[in-house]
C-alpha cells in the first residue's frame, strides 16, 4: 500500500497545479466532492487508496486464488477472519485488510447455498451482523460455536427453532435468502442503496461508500446548468462558495492591495456581497438584463436572493427559469471580467458594450 503521507503529498502537488502555485481559492477536499455536493467531481486519492484496500480485502475473501490461500495459511491459521485481532507481526497489506472489516460488513452480503462454509456464530451473515454481535458473548452462545449454517437448514429451508432462537431472531434469519445448489457459499458485493445484481465488486460504488459525504448544493442548477459556458461555471462556482478573490479576501490572505475600494463604483470597499449586486454599476448590468428579457426585477440586491426570486416565480415556465439562471450567470461573469479589466489592463467597457457582450454569449449558450 502507498503510505498515506505520500498520497497527501501527491494531492498537494495536484492542488498546486490546479491553482498555478498561487492562492488555493478552494480546498482540495472541496474539489473532490461530487458536483451535487458542492465539488467539481475530482477523486480524492486518499479515498481511492482506501477503496483499493477494500478491493484487496474483497479478493482475499473470495478465496479463489493462490495468493488468498497463502495469506489465509500464513496469517489466520484456523482463526476466523472477522474476529481475528491485528498482530504487529502481520504485513502492512494484511493489517490494512483487517482494518477494512467494518466497511466490508456494510457493503457485503452472504449468498447462502448449502451453508457449510459459513460459521454460524462468527460470520456476519445476518444483515452484516454475526450471532456473536446480536446475542453477545453469553453462555448460551457456546452451543453455537463450531457450527455452520448448514446445521439450521433442512431441505433448503431455515429451521432456526431447532436451536431455540427467539422468534424475532428467527424471522431475521428467514429473511436471508437460500439458493439451493452444490456450490459453496460466497460473499457478494451489495452496498446500501444498490441492487445486488451479479454481486461483483464495483470500484465506483465502493469509492462512493468510503468518500466523505456532504449536503447537496442548493445552487447546483445555477452553477452547472445545461448550456452554461465553462468559464461562467467556474466564476459561478467560486461565487456560490464565496471564494472569488475580491480585495477584502486578498487582504485577509496578506496580499498587498493598493486600494480596497470597488473599481467599478469607487464608493464602497470591494467584497463579494458588494460586487453581486450592491455596486450600482453591477446592479445596472443585471437590472437591464432582467427588464429586457425576463419581464421584471426582484427587489433584493444579493445574488442568492435573486436566485430565490427566480425559483419563486412559479407562474413562469421551466424554460424561463433556465433562461433567467443563464443570464444571471452571464452577468456575474461579465461583472467579474469588467472588474479584472479595470485592475489589470486599465480598461473599461461602456454599459451598452457589456450588455451586448452578455447578449452574444447568451445566444451562443441558448439551445
Question: Would you state the pLDDT for residue 167?
Answer: 87
Q: Is residue 258 part of a domain?
A: yes
Q: Is residue 106 part of a domain?
A: no
Q: Is residue 176 part of a domain?
A: yes
Radius of gyration of the chain (CA): 30
Mean pLDDT for the stretch of residues 292-311 = 79
Q: Is residue 191 part of a domain?
A: no
**Confidence at 261, pLDDT banded by 50, 70, 90:** very high
State whether 210 and 230 are in the same domain.
no
- The answer on pLDDT for 318 being more than 70 is yes
- Taking the C-alpha atoms of residue 319 and residue 309, their distance in angstroms, rounded to an integer, is 15
- The answer on pLDDT for 270 being more than 90 is yes
CB burial readout 201-240, b (16+ within 10 A) else e: bbeebbbbbbbeeeeebebebbbbbeebbeebbebbbbbb
Question: Would you state the pLDDT for residue 340?
Answer: 94
**Confidence at 174, pLDDT banded by 50, 70, 90:** very high
Nearest CA to 44 out of 243, 202, 212 is that of 212
Q: Is residue 165 part of a domain?
A: yes
Question: Would you state the pLDDT for residue 156?
Answer: 87
State whether 4 and 84 are in the same domain.
yes
Pseudo-torsion of CA 171, 176, 180, 186, nearest 10°?
Answer: -150
Handedness of CA 124, 126, 127, 133 (dihedral sign): negative
Question: Would you state the pLDDT for residue 305?
Answer: 85
Q: Is residue 105 part of a domain?
A: no
For all residues of the chain together, what is the average pLDDT? 89
State whether 227 and 344 are in the same domain.
yes
Least confident segment among 114-118, 286-290, 354-358: 286-290
Question: Would you state the pLDDT for residue 300?
Answer: 73
Report pLDDT digits (tens) over 188-241: 999 887 765 668 899 999 999 999 999 999 889 889 988 889 999 999 999 999
The length of the chain in residues reads 367
- Range of the structural domain that residue 211 is part of: 1-100+197-216
Report pLDDT digits (tens) over 96-148: 999 999 999 999 999 998 889 999 989 999 988 998 888 877 655 566 778 89
State whether 138 and 171 are in the same domain.
yes
State whether 70 and 141 are in the same domain.
no
Please say which residue of 162, 184, 206 terminates a domain: 184
Contact (Cβ atoms closer than 8 angstroms) between residue 232 and residue 248: no
State whether 62 and 152 are in the same domain.
no
Question: Would you state the pLDDT for residue 315?
Answer: 59
State whether 175 and 210 are in the same domain.
no
Question: Would you state the pLDDT for residue 29?
Answer: 95
Strand partners, 112: 178
- The answer on pLDDT for 262 being more than 60 is yes
**DSSP H helical ranges for 100-229:** 101-107, 131-135, 167-174, 203-210, 220-224
Question: Would you state the pLDDT for residue 136?
Answer: 79
Contact (Cβ atoms closer than 8 angstroms) between residue 65 and residue 30: no
- Taking the C-alpha atoms of residue 309 and residue 208, their distance in angstroms, rounded to an integer, is 34
Percent of the chain with pLDDT over 70: 94
State whether 93 and 205 are in the same domain.
yes
Q: Pick 308 or 317 by higher pLDDT.
A: 308
State whether 58 and 169 are in the same domain.
no
State whether 171 and 299 are in the same domain.
no
Percent of the chain with pLDDT over 90: 58
State whether 175 and 300 are in the same domain.
no
Task: Name the domain count of the chain.
Answer: 3
Q: Is residue 189 part of a domain?
A: no
**Confidence at 322, pLDDT banded by 50, 70, 90:** confident
**Confidence at 160, pLDDT banded by 50, 70, 90:** confident
Q: Is residue 285 part of a domain?
A: yes
State whether 300 and 355 are in the same domain.
yes
Amino acid at each position: 500500500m502507498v503510505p498515506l503521507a505520500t498520497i497527501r503529498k501527491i494531492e498537494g502537488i495536484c492542488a498546486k497545479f490546479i491553482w498555478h502555485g498561487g492562492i488555493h481559492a478552494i480546498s482540495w477536499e472541496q474539489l473532490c466532492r461530487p458536483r451535487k455536493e458542492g465539488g467539481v467531481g475530482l477523486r480524492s486519492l486518499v479515498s481511492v487508496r482506501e477503496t483499493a484496500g477494500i478491493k484487496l480485502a474483497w479478493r482475499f475473501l473470495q478465496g479463489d486464488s493462490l495468493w488468498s490461500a497463502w495469506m489465509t495459511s500464513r496469517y489466520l491459521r484456523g482463526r476466523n477472519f472477522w474476529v481475528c485481532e491485528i498482530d504487529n507481526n502481520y504485513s502492512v497489506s494484511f493489517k490494512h485488510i483487517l482494518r477494512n472489516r467494518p466497511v466490508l460488513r456494510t457493503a457485503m452480503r452472504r449468498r447462502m447455498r448449502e451453508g457449510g462454509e459459513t460459521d454460524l456464530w462468527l460470520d456476519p451473515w445476518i444483515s452484516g451482523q454475526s450471532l456473536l454481535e446480536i446475542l453477545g458473548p453469553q453462555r448460551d452462545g457456546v452451543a453455537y460455536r463450531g457450527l455452520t449454517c448448514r446445521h439450521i437448514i433442512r431441505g433448503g429451508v431455515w429451521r432456526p427453532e431447532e436451536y431455540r432462537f427467539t422468534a424475532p431472531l428467527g424471522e431475521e434469519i428467514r429473511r436471508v435468502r437460500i439458493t439451493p445448489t452444490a456450490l459453496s457459499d460466497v460473499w457478494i458485493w451489495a452496498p446500501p442503496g444498490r441492487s445486488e445484481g451479479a454481486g461483483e465488486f464495483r470500484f465506483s460504488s465502493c469509492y462512493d461508500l468510503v468518500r466523505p459525504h456532504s449536503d447537496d448544493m442548493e445552487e447546483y442548477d445555477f452553477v452547472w446548468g445545461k448550456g452554461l459556458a465553462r468559464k461562467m461555471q467556474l466564476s459561478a462556482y467560486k461565487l456560490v462558495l464565496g471564494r472569488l478573490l475580491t480585495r477584502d479576501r486578498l487582504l485577509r490572505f496578506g496580499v498587498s492591495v493598493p486600494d480596497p475600494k470597488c473599481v467599478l463604483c469607487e464608493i464602497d470597499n470591494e467584497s463579494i456581497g458588494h460586487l453581486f449586486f450592491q455596486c450600482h454599476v453591477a446592479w445596472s448590468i443585471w437590472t437591464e438584463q432582467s427588464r429586457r428579457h425576463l419581464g421584471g426585477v426582484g427587489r433584493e440586491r444579493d445574488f442568492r436572493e435573486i436566485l430565490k426570486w427566480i425559483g419563486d416565480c412559479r407562474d413562469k415556465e421551466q424554460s424561463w427559469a433556465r433562461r433567467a439562471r443563464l443570464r444571471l450567470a452571464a452577468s456575474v461573469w461579465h461583472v467579474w471580467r469588467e472588474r479584472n479589466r479595470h485592475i489589470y489592463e486599465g480598461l473599461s467597457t461602456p454599459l451598452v458594450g457589456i450588455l451586448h457582450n452578455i447578449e452574444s454569449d447568451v445566444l451562443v449558450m441558448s439551445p
